[in-house]
Amino acid sequence: MRTHRTRSALITVLTAARPGQSQAEILDELRRCVLDGDVPPGTPIPVDAVAEVFGVSRIPIRESLKTLIGEGLVEHRQNLGYTVARLSLGELRELYLVREVLEVAALTAAVAAADASHDEEARAAHHVLREATLAGDSRAYHRETKRFHWALVQPCGMHRLLGMLESAWNVTEPLQLMTHVGARERHDLHHDHDKQLAAFLARDTTSLLASCREHYQRLRVVLEGLPQHTGLLTDPD
């Protein structure tokens, strides 16, 4: 009975699925479900049921899942099937370190390349993030946090660097870290965003990078406070 509930939850979030979709469309829809956090880490991915939703054979589903395994979003174990990938706390620490290094590099180049249009995008993203913070909407806060950070790094124009940053970021997305942040921590993290926006608009690279590093230090504190026995993470280190 427990397995049935988990499987049904996965199938219901395939909202964009329709019979006869292409391989690329199937892959995009499965990736969307994982990145949106609607199917948390450890959720089974029933190949037969997913194939039925899309109206295809198992082959394109398995091919899509192979791609998602390569992206670190799905894992497969013999006799257990496919599941949304779970990470250990140690792996999360490593990924957030990688994200910090890549984001610092992207921000350094972005400040020099940014123009008025990028300033407007950053302000707009910050405004929406602030509204989510004030509303206490943790899902929106998580989603808009990424949008804000992306508004700051995109002007760098370094597509390979941004691709690596997005890949590292995506692997952490199913956990939805910002939904585990308390009100006080959320306030402090958003204060970092205030400082980052101000430094970006002033083209103050030194202050922007300092605030970015301080922000990641706060995120590491959040990581250490994650509950260890909810099934979202693998066994404690």
Whether residue 100 sits in one domain with residue 79: no
**pTM, entire model:** 0.88
Contact 26, 64 (CB under 8 A): yes
Question: Residue 155 to residues 111, 121, 178: CA-CA distances in angstroms?
Answer: 8, 10, 25
Whether residue 124 sits in one domain with residue 96: yes
Q: What is the pLDDT of residue 232?
A: 80
- Domain CATH for 39: 1.10.10.10
Task: Give the end of a domain, one of 41, 64, 84.
Answer: 84
Q: Would you say residue 233 lies in a domain?
A: no
Q: Would you say residue 138 lies in a domain?
A: yes
Cα 84 from Cα 41, distance rounded (Å): 5
Contact 196, 212 (CB under 8 A): yes
Whether residue 219 sits in one domain with residue 144: yes
Q: What is the pLDDT of residue 88?
A: 93
The first and second tokens of residue 66, run together, are 């192979």
Whether residue 214 sits in one domain with residue 101: yes
Cα 173 from Cα 46, distance rounded (Å): 21
CA atoms lying within 13 Å on the CB side of residue 172: 23
Q: What is the residue range of 130's domain? A: 89-224
Q: What is the pLDDT of residue 16?
A: 67
Q: What is the pLDDT of residue 161?
A: 98
Q: What is the pLDDT of residue 5?
A: 45
For the chain, the domain total comes to 2
Question: Residue 162 to residues 39, 57, 110, 178: CA-CA distances in angstroms?
Answer: 25, 35, 11, 21
Whether residue 148 sits in one domain with residue 102: yes
Whether residue 164 sits in one domain with residue 70: no
Q: Would you say residue 237 lies in a domain?
A: no
The burial of 226, by beta-carbon neighbours within 10 Å (0-12 exposed, 13-18 middle, 19 or more buried), is given as middle
Q: Would you say residue 232 lies in a domain?
A: no
Whether residue 123 sits in one domain with residue 60: no
Cα 211 from Cα 115, distance rounded (Å): 21
With CA atoms as reference, report the closest residue to 46 among 84, 92, 16, 15.
84
DSSP conformational letter for 233: B
Q: What is the pLDDT of residue 121?
A: 98
Q: For the chain, which ranges sit under pLDDT 70?
A: 1-9, 16, 235-237
What tens digit of pLDDT does each residue of 82-122 get? 999 999 999 999 999 999 999 999 999 999 999 999 999 99
